[in-house]
Amino acid sequence: MIEINNLAFSFGKYSVLENISMKLEEGKIYGLLGENGVGKTTLLTLLCGLKQPKAGTISADGRAPFNREPSLLQDQFYLPDEVLPLAATPGQFASERARFWPKFSYISYEALLREFEVDSTQHMDKMSAGQLKKTWIAFALACGARYYYMDEPTNGLDIPSKAQFRKALMKYTAEDSIMVISTHQVRDLESIIDPIIILDSKEVLVMATLEEIAQKLTFDYSKEINPDALYMEQIPGGVIQVIPNTTGEESKVNLEAFFNTIHANKDVAKSLFNNKK
């Protein structure tokens, strides 16, 4: 389990995160959502120990990430949005770096490269952006880490590659791992991320499972506008509306509509999901 207590971080006098507290449980893939500049990448780099909190604590099963203990480093992987185009083939890349992760599986790595349709003989600095990203994703998943922090992993991937990524994530991630994925492309990942964390204005605005979201809100597709709708958007053939769930009937959560609803109704969101500053 990862425990975050009263976490704060700032760049000089500019405060990015304030009083962040949450628990991240094993066996879950957390979707980290929020507008640009709210601190998603900052939170990921704090979780993996690349930045030191200004206040508060982070504990990954009793270990503080910023201490950079080898026992924790070998059990985590941070995948940034922009990955390095190294002058090496995927095999050379693995032979140089895999030793830092004792659970690294060359068998899984080679299988992932095949599934991602990556040319293993090509140098990474000669690859397209999508092929390069898939090589790094393959390496990350082959590490067998317990903690994964991924920043916009589907950026640069085409539609088939996004499907390959979702399939690989479910196939090669251990059942007891904790994964946090920051994304703006919620449609790419809505079938696999759960719970959902929404950052806004230095705080956690919402942290909820899809089940909890469906219990609180109804996602309605119709041609008739409901006056109680918190959010409405026109779609082909009608509208999608997000309405407070007063009947207890569950509907399929649309994450993009959910995010837009929360963004437009922050006070209501805090009330519905019991989030406080």
Task: Say yes or no: 245 and 112 in one domain.
Answer: no
- Which residue among 153, 178, 207 closes a domain? 207
Q: How far apart, in whole angstroms, are the C-alpha atoms of residue 148 and residue 82? A: 16
Q: What is the reported pTM?
A: 0.93
Task: Assess whether 130 and 189 both reside in one domain.
Answer: yes
Are 150 and 261 in the same domain?
Answer: no
Domain hosting residue 263, numbered range:
209-273
155 in the same domain as 53? yes
Residue partners of 267: CB distance under 8 A and separation at least 6: none
Both 146 and 16 in one domain: the answer is yes
The conformation of residue 181, written as its DSSP 8-state character, comes to E
Residue 110, domain CATH: 3.40.50.300
Same domain, 195 and 217: no
Alpha helices, DSSP H, located in the chain: 40-47, 70-73, 90-97, 106-115, 129-142, 159-172, 186-189, 210-216, 255-264, 266-273
pLDDT at res. 202: 85
In single-letter form, the type of residue at position 175 comes to: E
Per-residue pLDDT at 251 exceeds 50: yes
Last residue in a domain, options 152, 179, 207: 207
pLDDT digits (tens, 9 = 90+) for 135-183: 999 999 999 999 999 999 999 999 999 999 999 999 999 999 999 999 9
pLDDT of the residue at 64: 97
Query: Is 79 in the same domain as 110?
Result: yes
